[in-house]
Every structure is written in structure tokens, then in C-alpha cells.
Amino acid sequence: MSQDNQQTETVEFDWKLKLGLAMFIVSMLIPLLGIPIITGLSLSTTLTTTISGAMLMAGEVLGVSSIAVMGKPGFAYIKARVAGIIKQYGPPQTVSRKRYSIGLFMFLLPILFGWTMPYAAEYIPGLSEHLLIYALTGDIILIISLFVLGGDFWDKLSSLFIYDAKAKFRTGHQ
């Protein structure tokens, strides 16, 4: 009898997990697909804002509800699977000096461009007409640079936000 109960619990877990996962996916799709469609329609600004806000709220509520439906074991399972996928495609812990230099250049380029853009806008062709494209390109380069720089850079970057973190410098050149 206890074996039957275990099988029933497994079936209920699978059912809850599938429903919760479906709810979570829908919670992401509502704002990602719905808001661009709503903003593309020729509705008043007030109505567009109201509907978009409602879609964001519905997505959030559905997302939290999906975690409740999955339960703690289901959420832990999904979290472990997603972490495994991210780790598989994430940056390696250490990288070569050449890759690190390229990544550092990629990291600093959009930051420096963002700082100098207000002062050098008249010298950059098409900047005022295509400001969004320049901004998105810089953001994409910055995000890619974090993967090029590797996991050690993530540790260095996160240590900026830890009060007690101390830098260790190697003595001598290698």
C-alpha cells in the first residue's frame, strides 16, 4: 500500500510540475508578446499603459502562482535544471591572458562610449537618428564581454559590492 502511495505522489508531482511549468512559461509570454502587440495598436496612451500594466501584473501573479502549484520540490527541480543549463553555457572559471584582454576591452568600450557620447555626439555619424541602436549595441557588447572575461572576472566584479572583500596581488611577473 505504501508503494501505491509513492506512485500516486509521483504522478501528482509530475502533474503539478507540468502545470506549474506551463503557468510559468505563460507568465513570461504574456508581457513579452502581449505588450509589443498592444503598443503596436493605435490605442490611446492611457489605454495602452493600462493594458500593459495589467499584463505585467498578470504575468507576475501567474509566475508566483506557478511556483505555488509546483510546490517546493517542483520549484527546486526546475531551479536545478535551469542552473545546470546556465552552467553548461556559462563562462569558464579561468581564461587565457589574451581572452581576458579582449574581454576587458569589450567591457570598457561601451562604458567609455556612454561617458563620451554626450560630448562627442556631433562627431559620431548618425548618432542622433539611431540612438537606440547605438545603446543596444553597447549593451550587447557589455553582456558578451562578461562571458568572454570568464568566471574569475565575475568574482572580481561581485567583490566590489562586498565591504570586507580584499584584493590579492601576485608578486612577480609570469
Region 85-104: what's the mean pLDDT?
Answer: 83
Confidence grade of residue 166 (pLDDT, cut at 50, 70, 90): confident
Confidence grade of residue 90 (pLDDT, cut at 50, 70, 90): low
Q: How far apart are CA 40 and CA 130, in angstroms?
A: 20
Q: What are phi and psi of 160, to 5 degrees?
A: -60, -25
Confidence grade of residue 174 (pLDDT, cut at 50, 70, 90): low
Highest-pLDDT range among 30-34, 87-91, 93-97: 30-34
pLDDT, position 86 = 73
The percent of residues above 70 in pLDDT, for the chain, comes to 89
Helix residue ranges per DSSP H, the chain: 2-40, 45-89, 97-120, 131-149, 151-159
The percent of residues above 90 in pLDDT, for the chain, comes to 25
50-62 per-position pLDDT tens digit: 998 999 999 999 9
Q: Is residue 87 scored above 70 in pLDDT?
A: yes
Q: Which of 13, 115, 20 is nearest to 73 (CA)?
A: 13
Region 78-96: what's the mean pLDDT?
Answer: 78
